[in-house]
Amino acid sequence: MKSTHWTSVARSWMGIAAACIAVVAAGWLLSAYIHARLVAPAEKAYVDELKQTGRTDIEIQRSCSPNWTASTNRRSAGVASMIAAACSCWS
């Protein structure tokens, strides 16, 4: 048989294989979405509970306050250095 025959057979099976892969990927994404929708309410309740604990517990507020200011200062310094670098490129 000619090699063109086998090439056309391979191309037709590649299309079928690609369609199967697309169907499997869509099913996987759908199952991940359904799982996330089922788990989200419980996780949201847990996060709300942690937020409330963080607002009311003095020890948590004391430990988080220095970290918050340090991260805010680092962010401000990062933004300032980006602006300085952008200005130096224009001049």
List the pLDDT tens digit at each of the 91 positions of the chain: 567 888 888 888 999 999 999 999 999 999 999 999 998 888 889 989 988 888 888 777 776 666 555 665 666 667 777 777 777 766 5
Which pTM was predicted?
0.47
**φ, ψ dihedrals at 31, nearest 5°:** -70, -35
Read off the tokens for 19.
Answer: 């369609």
Rounded distance between C-alpha atoms, residue 36 and residue 41, angstroms: 9
Q: End-to-end alpha-carbon separation of the chain, Å? A: 70
Tell me how far the alpha carbon of residue 45 is from its chain's centroid.
Answer: 21
Query: In 3-state terms, what secondary structure has residue 66?
Result: helix
Q: How many CB atoms lie within 10 A of CB 46?
A: 10
Domain boundaries, the chain: 3-90
